[in-house]
Copies of this chain bind each other. A is one copy, B any other.
Amino acid sequence: MENKVLIFGHKNPDTDSICSSMVHETLNRKIGWEAKAVRLGKINKETQYVLDYLKIEAPEFIEKIEEGQEVILVDHNEFNQSVEGIEKATIRMVTDHHKIANFETFEPLYFTAKPYGCTATILYEEFKQYGFSIEKKEAILMASAIISDTLLLKSPTTTRFDEQALYELEKIAEIDMKEYGLAMLKAGTDLNDFSVKELINIDSKEFDKEGTKFEIAQVNTVSIEDVLKREEQLKEVINKTIEEKGLSLFVLAITDILNSNSEIIALGSKTEVIKTAFGKELVDNKAFLEGVVSRKKQLLPNIDKNI
The reply to whether A101 and B98 contact each other, CB–CB distance below 8 Å, is no
Residues of B close to A296: CB separation below 8 A? 108
Q: Give the 6 A-B CB pairs with smallest separation, nearest first.
A: A108-B115, A111-B113, A101-B104, A99-B105, A100-B105, A129-B129
The reply to whether A108 and B98 contact each other, CB–CB distance below 8 Å, is yes
Residues of B close to A97: CB separation below 8 A? 108
Question: How many copies of this chain?
Answer: 2
Residues of B close to A115: CB separation below 8 A? 107-110
Closest to A91 in B: B100
The reply to whether A103 and B106 contact each other, CB–CB distance below 8 Å, is no
The reply to whether A99 and B110 contact each other, CB–CB distance below 8 Å, is no
Q: How far is the CB of A163 from chain B (nearest CB, A)?
A: 17
Within 8 A of B (CB), among A77-104: 97-104
Q: Is A225 an interface residue (CB 8 A)?
A: no
Q: Which of A97, A103, A109 has the most CB of B within 10 A?
A: A109
Question: How many angstroms from the CA of A97 to the CA of B108 in the assembled complex?
Answer: 6
Residues of B close to A106: CB separation below 8 A? 99, 301, 304-305
Provide a sorted-by-A list of 19 A–B residue pairs whose CB atoms are within 8 angstroms. Answer: A98-B108, A99-B105, A99-B109, A100-B100, A100-B105, A102-B104, A106-B301, A106-B304, A106-B305, A107-B301, A108-B113, A108-B114, A108-B115, A109-B113, A110-B113, A110-B114, A111-B112, A112-B112, A129-B129
Question: How many angstroms from the CA of A75 to the CA of B116 in the assembled complex?
Answer: 23
Closest to A130 in B: B129
**How does the 8 Å CB contact mask read for A288-307 relative to B, with 1 for contact and 0 for none?**
00000000100001001100
Residues of B close to A304: CB separation below 8 A? 106
Question: How many angstroms from the CA of A109 to the CA of B111 in the assembled complex?
Answer: 12
Question: How many angstroms from the CA of A102 to the CA of B104 in the assembled complex?
Answer: 7
Closest to A296 in B: B108
The reply to whether A105 and B109 contact each other, CB–CB distance below 8 Å, is no
Q: Which of A97, A114, A296, A301 has the most CB of B within 10 A?
A: A114
Closest to A305 in B: B106
Q: How far is the CB of A160 from chain B (nearest CB, A)?
A: 13
Closest to A129 in B: B129
Q: How far is the CB of A238 from chain B (nearest CB, A)?
A: 26
The reply to whether B112 and A107 contact each other, CB–CB distance below 8 Å, is no
Within 8 A of B (CB), among A34-48: none
Within 8 A of B (CB), among A255-307: 296, 301, 304-305
The reply to whether A104 and B99 contact each other, CB–CB distance below 8 Å, is yes
Q: How far is the CB of A173 from chain B (nearest CB, A)?
A: 25
Known: A100-B100, A108-B113, A111-B113. 9 other contacts (CB 8 A): A98-B108, A99-B106, A99-B108, A100-B104, A100-B109, A108-B296, A110-B113, A111-B111, A112-B113
Within 8 A of B (CB), among A109-131: 109-116, 129
